[in-house]
């Protein structure tokens, strides 16, 4: 089963913080994601220009697809970029990793996720969506989804109801499975009714961390949240940080402990987890094997800044996955 992701095509600009005081200055909530306008992007861009930063392709679905590509899954990705340097960087990176990038290109700026990394590895996003915010239902045709068996939707797209529901409807017409990552607890809280509608009507697999599952179920603890979400779809997955992750499919459920690691940057941990889980799901593996593969990928990506693991690291991961 081939996997296609759809989401905000962003370039991550990553900066290590000495402390969290700068988050307060920019009005950012630690661990959250805030959308920013052109003026704030200019302000933050000027601030970051004084620091040593790293760039990588980003966006939640884009990161999951990148993980799948490095496992050899040959995934695809749908997103919208600008005709600028950042857009070329995104496209070139997809080509380099064997991702079938079905990009919509338009005049304007490619989206940027300014990623502030705290000393404990927690990351806070100030995101300027640029052309990603302009992606519409009219940009996506049935032909773009052909040849794929599973569509992985980025939860941040929920802000465009018409786009996300149109794409989900097309996927179901084509007989595709649909997975969604709930994105961020504050995004879930702000549009809970639509999220619940989307899951109950279209989605087969839901990924959530502890805070997102609590927001989605309006206050339930992880175990109870898992059961509620699983009652709305085929497979529910709840990640509980260092304590590991849980999954439930019908009457089957399992839990896998977290992987001990030297945490440098938690950026993309959940996305790589989703990529690893979906790789196993697409191959018909058990829930436990899917959770273990997701945990393996997440445990590796948190040990580097951004999403670029070394060739040696990927070789080791692929060897472990094959076992």
Q: Mind listing the pLDDT tens digit for each residue in 224-260?
A: 999 999 999 999 999 998 899 999 999 999 999 988 8
Confidence check: pLDDT of 267 > 80: no
Percent of the chain scoring above 90 in pLDDT: 74
Residue 63: pLDDT band by 50, 70, 90 thresholds? very high
296: its two tokens: 């393996």
Confidence check: pLDDT of 266 > 90: no
Give backbone dihedrals phi and psi of 50, rounded to 5 degrees, phi first. -85, -5
122: its two tokens: 């927690």
CA atoms within 13 A on the CB side of 56: 20
- pLDDT value, residue 49: 84
- pLDDT value, residue 239: 97
Confidence check: pLDDT of 51 > 90: no
Per-residue pLDDT, averaged over 72-94, amounts to 95
Per-residue pLDDT, averaged over 312-318, amounts to 95
Length reported for the chain: 323
Residues 200-213: pLDDT tens digits? Answer: 999 999 999 999 99
- pLDDT value, residue 52: 82
Q: Which CATH number does the domain 3-322 belong to among 3.40.1190.20, 3.30.499.10, 3.40.1370.10, 1.10.10.10?
A: 3.40.1190.20
76: its two tokens: 């695809």
Residue 150: pLDDT band by 50, 70, 90 thresholds? very high
Residue 261: pLDDT band by 50, 70, 90 thresholds? confident
Confidence check: pLDDT of 45 > 90: no
- pLDDT value, residue 71: 97
- How many angstroms separate the CA atoms of 242 and 99, rounded? 30
Confidence check: pLDDT of 13 > 80: yes
Is the four-CA dihedral 136, 138, 141, 144 of positive or negative sign? negative
- How many angstroms separate the CA atoms of 100 and 179, rounded? 19
Residue 265: pLDDT band by 50, 70, 90 thresholds? confident
Percent of the chain scoring above 70 in pLDDT: 100
């Amino acid at each position: 089963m081939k996997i296609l992701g759809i989401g905000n095509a962003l370039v991550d600009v990553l900066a290590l913080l000495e402390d969290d005081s700068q988050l307060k200055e920019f009005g950012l909530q630690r661990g959250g994601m805030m959308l920013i306008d052109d003026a704030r992007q200019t302000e933050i861009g000027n601030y970051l220009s004084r620091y040593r930063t790293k760039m990588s392709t980003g966006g939640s679905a884009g990161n999951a697809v990148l993980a799948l590509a490095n496992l050899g899954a040959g995934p695809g990705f749908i997103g919208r970029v600008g005709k600028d340097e950042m857009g070329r960087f995104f496209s070139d990176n997809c080509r380099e990793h064997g991702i079938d990038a079905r990009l919509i290109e338009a005049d304007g700026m490619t989206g940027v996720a300014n990623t502030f990394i705290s000393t404990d590895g927690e990351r806070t996003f100030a995101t300027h969506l640029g052309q990603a915010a302009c992606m519409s239902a009219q940009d996506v045709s049935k032909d773009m989804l052909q040849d794929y068996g599973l569509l992985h939707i980025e939860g941040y797209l929920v802000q465009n109801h018409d786009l996300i529901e149109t794409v989900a409807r097309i996927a179901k017409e084509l007989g595709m499975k649909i997975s969604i990552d709930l994105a961020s607890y504050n995004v879930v809280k702000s549009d809970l009714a639509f999220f619940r509608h989307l899951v109950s009507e279209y989605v087969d697999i839901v990924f959530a961390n502890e805070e997102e599952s609590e927001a989605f179920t309006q206050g339930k603890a992880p175990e109870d949240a898992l059961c509620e979400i699983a009652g709305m779809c085929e497979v529910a997955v709840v990640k509980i940080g260092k304590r590991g992750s849980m999954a439930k499919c019908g009457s089957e459920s399992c839990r896998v402990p977290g992987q001990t690691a030297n945490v440098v940057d938690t950026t993309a941990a959940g996305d790589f987890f989703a990529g690893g889980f979906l790789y196993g799901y697409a191959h018909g593996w058990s829930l436990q094997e899917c959770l273990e593969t997701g945990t393996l990928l997440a445990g590796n990506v948190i040990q580097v800044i951004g999403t670029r693991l070394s060739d040696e690291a990927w070789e080791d991961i692929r060897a472990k996955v094959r076992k």
